[in-house]
Amino acid sequence: MSIEREGGMYYLYCDICGEKTLESFFDFYDAVQHKKQEGWRSQKNQGEWEDVCPECQEV
């Protein structure tokens, strides 16, 4: 799970590089929207969903 709650805010984490986005979100839904807009990708790995930031995606 790579949308994490921290201090009442939501943050996005990349499951590959572990990097946290600078943006934080009040709303879980906003975090999901941001993920889509920025080109993050969800992929299934060994039965678990992981989120991959644009920089870690193979082109």
Q: What's the min distance (Å) between Cβ of 5 and Zn ion?
A: 20
Q: What's the min distance (Å) between Cβ of 20 and Zn ion?
A: 10
Taking the C-alpha atoms of residue 43 and residue 59, their distance in angstroms, rounded to an integer, is 14
What is the 8-class DSSP label of residue 22? Answer: S
Q: What's the min distance (Å) between Cβ of 51 and Zn ion?
A: 9
Which is closer to Zn ion, CB of 24 or CB of 50?
50
Q: Which residues bind Zn ion (CB under 5 A)?
A: 14, 16-17, 53, 56
Task: Name every residue whose Cβ is closer than 8 Å to that of residue 28 and which is 6 or more positions away in sequence.
Answer: 3, 10
